[in-house]
Amino acid sequence: MGDLEIVRHPRARRSRLSIDPATGRARLVVPTRAALKPALAWAAGKAEWLAAQRAALPQPRPFVPGAVLPVADESLTIAWREGPRRAVQREGDRIDCEGPVETLPRRIEAWLKRRALDLLTHETGEFAAKAGVAVAKVAIGDAKGRWGSCASTGVIRYSWRLILAPGFVRRATVAHEVAHRVHMNHGAAFHALVARLLGDDPAPAHAWLRTHGAALHWFGRSS
């Protein structure tokens, strides 16, 4: 239980144990005034349950030679060979790379982030023009709890891992964030605007992320 995260929560009425599907980390939520020792003992008795939950987590998808990645609706294979060139580049259905194999994961991730920023910037501009709004800046990050966010300053930030999701999921996320430039809420007018910008029902994209979104966080992990 050494990797157990303990959270005191003022609204919790009893201890609750869960596994974060994006990280695989166990979390124990304990009421603010509850004694910690009995809660830890209770959690220790849930070892079999925790093992079963971890066994059901998505499989790690490390960035190694031969790995196949879903990049913007295309399957691309990491093709590494010995050589001095450190730059990563696409050739047909391959992601070609040389250089030290031990730095390959970091370089592949950096390449994916560049692709993600370019594509998300382009699609944000497309939807912003359709909505008649301005976007101050598009940025990427790797938040575990959300796929996009829109600040009142006009800055829109996305998870770079959307480049690994199907295009209809990525575009629905972009439409969602751009719509927040008009409505900073989730009311009926907001949802109607999202559907108009997308030209489709965004519900399948939301359903896909609920079912498969956690697996995107396991790309690039070896364990």
pLDDT exceeding 70 applies to what percent of the chain? Answer: 99
Of 88, 223, 86, 87, the residue nearest 77 (C-alpha):
88
- What average pLDDT does this structure show over 19-24? 93
Whether the predicted model's global pTM rises above the 0.95 cut: no
- Which tens digits make up the pLDDT trace of 155-192? 999 999 999 999 999 999 999 999 999 999 999 999 99
pLDDT at 145: 86
- Which tens digits make up the pLDDT trace of 89-114? 999 999 999 999 999 999 999 999 99
Reported confidence tier of residue 1, pLDDT bands at 50, 70, 90: low
Helices (H), ranges, the chain: 36-44, 47-55, 104-131, 167-179, 188-198, 203-216
Reported confidence tier of residue 3, pLDDT bands at 50, 70, 90: confident
Do 133 and 155 meet the contact criterion of CB atoms below 8 Å apart? no
Give how far Cα 70 sits from Cα of 19, 163, 190, Å. 26, 8, 30
- Which tens digits make up the pLDDT trace of 201-221? 999 999 999 999 999 999 999
User: Is 74's pLDDT higher than 70?
Assistant: yes
User: Is 117's pLDDT higher than 70?
Assistant: yes
Instruction: Detail the DSSP E strand segments found in 20-93.
Output: 26-31, 68-71, 74-80, 89-91
- What average pLDDT does this structure show over 51-68? 96
How remote is the C-alpha of 135 from its chain's centroid? 22
Of 61, 65, 99, 89, the residue nearest 79 (C-alpha):
65
- What average pLDDT does this structure show over 21-32? 94
User: Is 2's pLDDT higher than 60?
Assistant: no
